Amino acid sequence: MAVERTLSIIKPDAVAKNVIGDIVARFEKADLKVVAMKMVHLSDEQAGGFYAEHKERPFFNDLVSFMTSGPVVVQVLEGEDAVAKNRDLMGATNPKEAAAGTIRADFAQTIDENAVHGSDSTESAAREVAYFFSDEELCPRTR
């Protein structure tokens, strides 16, 4: 398996619940390393641009409203098979269908406010990492 990078966002609902540390701990326990991290209150333009693939979907406006409703924590996670591993840790999009012990099962209640985002492919990851971080902001781990 290859070492990959993936983009993770701790969404406004989870930040409001004060569970940033609990969620980051899940990543660290699974051997994913944080190589970039920032807190940001997204603008409509930033959130809409990030979720541009969903522009025509009926939930797009609600999604942008939610993602701009409070600050988020944006991270780049690095590790073996990071994209799929992060998606496994997150659980299904709808928390009601998420496997027990996943982040969405434990920290979210509804599909609209589901605690975390994670890139869904290595191609999405490359695009999403570059959307939020410059090369200089990525901190390779040397120890």
| CA 59 and chain centroid, separation | 18
Known binding residues for ATP: 11, 59, 87, 93, 104, 114
Which residue number is nearest to Mg ion in terms of Cβ?
A: 120
37 vs 63, beta carbon nearer ligand RTP? 63
In whole angstroms, give the CA distance from residue 96 to residue 109. 7
- Which residue among the candidates 117, 119, 125, 129 is catalytic per the annotation? 117
Q: Which residues bind ligand RTP (CB under 6 A)?
A: 54, 59, 63, 93, 111-112, 114, 117-118, 120
β-strands 72-80, 116-118 pairing: unpaired
**Number of other CB atoms surrounding residue 7 within 10 Å:** 26
CB 76 within 8 A of CB 34: yes
| CA 122 and chain centroid, separation | 14
Q: How far is the CB of 112 from ligand RTP (least distance, A)?
A: 5
Of 109-128, binders to Mg ion (CB under 5 A) are 120
**Catalytic residue list contains 117:** yes
Q: How far is the CB of 135 from ligand RTP (least distance, A)?
A: 24
Nearest to 77 by CA among 43, 103, 47, 51: 103
Q: How far is the CB of 142 from Mg ion (least distance, A)?
A: 31
CB 81 within 8 A of CB 1: yes
Select from Mg ion, ligand RTP, none the partner in contact with residue 118, using the beta carbon and a kind-dependent cut-off of 5 to 8 Å: ligand RTP
- The contact set with Mg ion (CB under 5 A) reads 120
Task: Return the active site residues.
Answer: 117
